[in-house]
Chains A and B, each alone.
Chain A
């Protein structure tokens, strides 16, 4: 597919999420645990250029807005606050499907600096799905008050993505977020992003499963992270197949074949 056909196809999928983006603004998704100041960052970036509503067919609030930086407009979507991306609740399903299928150009993961351990769990799950990720370390003032010191440079080199310290309440860090996103888009920067590795047994199953999936779901081409898909299936997560047939309805039959178990997926029960 050539480039413009590809972006039309992507825009069509994004429309399932009620995103009308015909002028192809860079799409930024905000993800994060509940109570990390995600919405404060969203409001700080978009100001009054936002509107709220529901996710299509769901009673989950949705906020969308845009901001302008150096003459360029960026479309921002506030995803529901979640502890994980494993589709255990409607909120998690929305956040996961959005990052997986609407494929935002950048995902900003907002983390609570006072509670890193809990927040990095989600950051690693997002990274597993998409490495176009930037970590925003919010509530840095509260962390300092609690005597928590965060080595941002070290964290950057561990995670292999940009980490931006912020105090969204006071507007600190917002300029840096805009600058970083602008650079990523303008220069087409791709980050390596740390990838979790699993036990040998699981890694072997992943390696065996990926080619089988690729053979049977050819239409997904480079539109999905195959390793991530293999992991979900190994975990016994059936919602992901349902989501694939939702966003690629033309190929429902191919998905059904896997769903019915006609294709032997080693290790998947």
Chain B
């Protein structure tokens, strides 16, 4: 499953970051690291970007960035 498929209010764990090079480094720097828990918070009116809660900070990703992140859906606590 990819991050862009995660519905609002759902929680998941990042399993892999498929981006390469500078973009990969960028996503890792922002906290999108395999093993990290992530929650989709809200969508902008046009459907993207989507705001995610990751490591205590809210960050927004566009669809093409979210598509580079593989996740495993977790049950909401």
Contacts and interface: CB of A to CB of B under 8 A. Distances in A.
B56 A236 contact: no
B31 interface: yes
Interface size class of chain B, counting residues whose CB lies under 8 Å from the partner chain: 10 to 19
B26 interface: yes
Contacts, number: 32
B56 A118 contact: yes
B22 A117 contact: no
A139 to B, nearest CB: 11
Contacts of B25: 84, 86, 235
Nearest to B59: A83
Nearest to B31: A118
A64 interface: no
A115 B55 contact: yes
Contacts of A236: 21-22
Contacts of B56: 112, 114-115, 118
A237 interface: yes
Interface of B: 21-22, 25-26, 29-31, 55-57
19 contacts: A83-B30, A83-B31, A84-B25, A84-B26, A86-B26, A86-B29, A88-B29, A112-B56, A114-B56, A115-B55, A115-B56, A115-B57, A117-B31, A117-B55, A118-B55, A118-B56, A235-B22, A236-B22, A237-B22
